[in-house]
Amino acid sequence: MKTLRFLALAAALAAGGAHGQVKDKAPVDAGPYVPSPQSVVADMLKIADIGPKDFVIDLGSGDGRIVLTAAKVFGASGFGVEIKDNLVKESNEAAKVQGVADRVKFITADLFKTDISKATVLTMYLLPNTVNMLKDKLLTELRPGTKILSHDYPLSGWIPERYVQMDLEDKVAISGVTTTLIYLYMVPAKVGPAWTANVPVAVSKEPIRLNLKQQVTRVSGVARVGGRDVPVEEGKLRGEKLSFRLGVGSKSYEFSGTVKGEAIVEGTVAGPGTKGAWTAALAK
Ligand SMILES: C[S@@+](CC[C@H](N)C(=O)[O-])C[C@H]1O[C@@H](n2cnc3c(N)ncnc32)[C@H](O)[C@@H]1O
How far does the centroid of ligand 1 lie from the alpha carbon of residue 160, in Å? 22
Cα–Cα distance for residue pair 99/214, rounded to 1 Å: 44
- Please state the rounded mean pLDDT for residues 124-140: 97
What per-residue confidence (pLDDT) applies to 24?
56
Return residue ranges of the chain for CATH 3.40.50.150.
Answer: 4-186
Q: Kindly calculate the radius of gyration of the chain based on its CA atoms and give it in whole angstroms.
A: 22
How far does the centroid of ligand 1 lie from the alpha carbon of residue 126, in Å? 6
How far does the centroid of ligand 1 lie from the alpha carbon of residue 107, in Å? 12
Nearest alpha carbon, ligand 1 atom 25: 33
How far does the centroid of ligand 1 lie from the alpha carbon of residue 95, in Å? 18
Kindly state the percentage of the chain with pLDDT values over 70: 92
pTM over 0.85: yes
Cα–Cα distance for residue pair 31/175, rounded to 1 Å: 13
Q: Which residue has the higher pLDDT, 265 or 7?
A: 265
Q: Which atom of ligand 1 is nearest to the CA of 151?
A: 8
CATH class of 194-282: mainly beta
**DSSP string of 18-49?**
HHHHTTSSSPP------PPPHHHHHHHHHHTT
Return residue ranges of the chain for CATH 2.40.128.
Answer: 194-282
**Mean per-residue pLDDT of the chain:** 91
Q: What are 70-88's pLDDT values in tens digits? A: 999 999 999 999 999 999 9
Q: Which atom of ligand 1 is nearest to the CA of 111?
A: 20
Cα–Cα distance for residue pair 153/158, rounded to 1 Å: 12
Give residues (CB < 6 A) around ligand 1.
Answer: 27-31, 33-36, 58, 60-62, 65-66, 81-84, 87, 110-112, 125-126, 151
How far does the centroid of ligand 1 lie from the alpha carbon of residue 237, in Å? 30
CATH code assigned to 4-186 = 3.40.50.150
Q: Is the confidence at residue 172, as pLDDT, over 50?
A: yes
Nearest alpha carbon, ligand 1 atom 11: 60
Strands 77-82 and 55-59: parallel
Q: What are 98-108's pLDDT values in tens digits? A: 999 999 999 99
Nearest alpha carbon, ligand 1 atom 12: 60
Nearest alpha carbon, ligand 1 atom 1: 34
Q: Is the confidence at residue 277, as pLDDT, over 70?
A: yes
